[in-house]
Structure 1
Amino acid sequence: MRFTAIAALLLAAVASAQSPILTNCAPGTTEMTVTSVSLSPYPLCTNKNVCITATGTLSTSIVAGASLSISGRYLGRVVYTDNQDLCNLLYVQGHPCPVPITVTSLTVCVLVKPTAPTSIPVVLTIKAINGNGNVLFCVTGTITAQNCP
């Protein structure tokens, strides 16, 4: 009985530490067909980096001027925003723009601002716009950030 309770607690801890489910939020066609997206580490920690990995297929190269926007809503109200130069983020990861269509996995790491709300479920939207103005991808899901040591 005791072993079963400990095993259940461990499984619950592992399950809660997995990346949240992020779903497509693009209003139409995109330049990247995303097959999976993950956040690491999860849960997110304020004032620490989180890495977003999107895997899929590009239909066109990612070109200069591409941007990444992250917004969070709680009870319908915007409580978090961040905007980044996607090409700069990709450069740090070894993929300078233009990023060819042969690349199938993109990882970018950004700082979770210290002002991010903690311990509440926030609907997070991550949207990438190519330098040509077209949507690369858009994903959304409910996340919770925390203050970490």
Structure 2
Amino acid sequence: MRFTAIAALLLAAVASAQSPIFSNYAIGFTEMTVASIVLAPYPLCVNKNVCITVIGTLSTSIVTGARLSISGKYGGRVVYTDNQDLCNLLYVQGHPCPVPPLASITACVLVKPTTPTGIPIALTIQATNGNGNVLFCQVATVTAQNCT
């Protein structure tokens, strides 16, 4: 019985560390159909990088001027914002713009030191192509923490 209790605790710890489930938040057409998004590491660690991997079907190339916008809300108020040049983020991953259609894209960004910790935040991640079209827009509830 003791083994069962320990196994249940380990399983619960692993399950709680899994990336949150994102859902489509886009209005209208998007240039990428998203199958899943993975945040690593998760939970988010303040003042450390998090890598966002988007898996799906990209119908067009990602071109110069593409942007990645991240915003978080708590209680209906914006508590987090970040805007990045998506081409610069993809370049670091070995994919200079224009990026041809891929099955997945990964971008790593710093979780700002001003990020609220220990509360559930509705996190919206939106990528806009350099031509102004929305690549994807996804939302999930996430929590950040101070990590050592």
TM-score > 0.5 by shorter chain: yes
CA RMSD of aligned residues (A): 0.5
Offset of residue 123 of structure 1 = 0.3
CA distance in 1, matches of 2:34, 2:127: 12
CA distance in 1, matches of 2:34, 2:97: 19
CA distance in 2, matches of 1:15, 1:70: 25
CA distance in 2, matches of 1:139, 1:104: 17
CA distance in 2, matches of 1:98, 1:7: 48
Task: Indicate the residue corresponding to 1:6 in structure 2.
Answer: 6
The answer for unaligned runs of 5 or more in structure 1 is: none
Offset of residue 8 of structure 1 = 0.7
CA distance in 2, matches of 1:94, 1:57: 19
Letter in 1 for 2:120: P
Letter in 1 for 2:58: L
Offset of residue 32 of structure 1 = 0.6
Task: Indicate the residue corresponding to 2:110 in structure 1.
Answer: 111
3-state SS, counterpart of residue 117 of structure 2: coil
- Give per-residue Cα distances to partners, 1:30-82, cap 9 Å, x unaligned: 00111111100000000000000001111111000000000000011000000
Name the TM-score, length of structure 1 as normaliser. Answer: 0.98
CA distance in 2, matches of 1:145, 1:34: 24
3-state SS, counterpart of residue 5 of structure 2: helix
Task: Indicate the residue corresponding to 1:39 in structure 2.
Answer: 39
CA distance in 1, matches of 2:57, 2:6: 41
3-state SS, counterpart of residue 88 of structure 1: helix
Identical counterparts, % of pairs: 78
Offset of residue 24 of structure 1 = 0.7
Q: How many residues align?
A: 148
Name the TM-score, length of structure 2 as normaliser. Answer: 0.99
